[in-house]
Chain A
């Protein structure tokens, strides 16, 4: 039986996490602008 190994591309995950962070920051910024 062959062993199962998941190929995790850490760089890709980092990019996606940072994109998510960017979206959160932009949404938070818009929310503050709307409040002003």
Chain B
């Protein structure tokens, strides 16, 4: 799974940066690009861009409305099929967290049981973002908070205010995407910051593929709790024989479990569905990767670059 997400993210980053270089002449998001609605839509924006659009009819992200619908349908289709497996197998932004969380063999800072308020924070945060974005008609997260902007659409800085926002992006990026995951071996951005995480977790409830624990085989060794990068297995969830709704179905706990007690199961039944879930996840991952690779090859063959819009 690490390899799939890593490859997806890396090739996406190359294609994304190349597209910006070709179309804008720079990877920076300039005022000119903003005024021409020239920013590529991002799936993370869906909760706080779609809600103001459907309520007030205003597109608050500097992209065409057609882009919003395209990314909305793509996201919803994949989350219906894979649930929060989107975060584990598809998300092309998750690679940084994933990469740095995988570097060390053991965590330097142990962070296995975050407080309940920290686990509920992303849900409150996304509600806050939806409200603020709907009231001020600005994608506040993208404009002032998103740590991913250390790589994707970094701002062109000229004024003091722009320098301050850039500092917020860099600090957030270092804490949640680089140093934090490196020291804790946890995907901190995906667990506590990403506004799409609550939407994935909630829509994912109806997804039929679940990660379940066979309690007759479980020896309570706690390796699954330690290995889960998204805090999705807890002692309480183990007692109930499963994971929390935050599970990204990445399969790390299955690899670590010495008794093979954890597996993909069909919702409400004990039926094994590993042979259904993994091929679906791999196929969609590879479809995305091949799309990004095709964009790059097409550019070098013809000189024409596709668009992320």
Contacts and interface: CB of A to CB of B under 8 A. Distances in A.
Interface of A: 11, 14-15, 18-19, 21-22, 25-26, 28-33, 35-36
B266 A18 contact: yes
B81 A19 contact: no
Given A15-B269, A22-B266, A30 B77 contact: yes
Given A25-B206, A26-B81, A29-B78, A35 B73 contact: yes
Given A18-B208, A21-B208, A22-B276, A33 B271 contact: no
Contacts of A21: 208, 267
Interface in B266-309: 266-269, 271, 273, 276, 280
A33 B209 CA distance: 19
Contacts of A31: 77
Give the dominant DSSP class at A's interface: helix
B71 interface: yes
Chain B CB count within 10 A is highest, among A11, A22, A30, A31, for A22
26 contacts: A15-B269, A15-B271, A18-B208, A18-B266, A18-B269, A22-B266, A22-B276, A25-B207, A26-B80, A26-B280, A28-B77, A28-B80, A29-B76, A29-B78, A30-B77, A30-B81, A32-B73, A32-B77, A33-B73, A33-B78, A35-B73, A35-B77, A36-B69, A36-B71, A36-B73, A36-B74
B70 interface: yes
Interface string B46-86: 00000000000000000000000111111011101100000
Interface of B: 69-74, 76-78, 80-81, 206-209, 266-269, 271, 273, 276, 280
Given A15-B271, A33-B74, A36-B73, A25 B266 contact: no
A14 B265 CA distance: 13
B296 to A, nearest CB: 21
Given A25-B207, A32-B76, A32-B77, 5 more contacts: A15-B266, A18-B208, A26-B280, A30-B77, A31-B77
Contacts of A14: 268-269
Nearest to B72: A36
Nearest to B209: A22
Contacts of A33: 73-74, 77-78
A22 to B, nearest CB: 4
Contacts of B269: 11, 14-15, 18
A18 B77 contact: no
